[in-house]
Amino acid sequence: MSHRKSRGALRGRQLESRTLCPPRQPIGATGLAQIFEIVTQLRGEAGSRQVEAARFGIQENGGGLWGCEEALAHVGILGRD
């Protein structure tokens, strides 16, 4: 099975960071990892992954099943001054 990757859009670019747990992980684990990556970027602490002058980030996460659709979805928009 393939591993899912955390992705966070910053300044029109997509950022691929750490590999997350395979499917069947807790829904909150993926979202928390995505938010952590965006906050790290916004603080300028991402090292070699750093997006220059990052000011905003968007995060999307969904999981669970309701019929054939996701049972839960979350979109977060984070920014800094």
Check residue 13 and report its DSSP letter.
E
The whole-model pTM stands at 0.65
Range of the domain at 67: 5-79
pLDDT of residue 63: 79
Q: Residue 27 and residue 70: Cα distance in Å, rounded?
A: 11
The per-residue pLDDT for range 28-79, each reduced to its tens digit, is: 788 888 999 999 999 999 999 999 999 999 999 887 778 888 788 889 999 9
The residue with tokens 């928390």 is 32
Residue 39's pLDDT is 96
Provide the domain count of the chain.
1
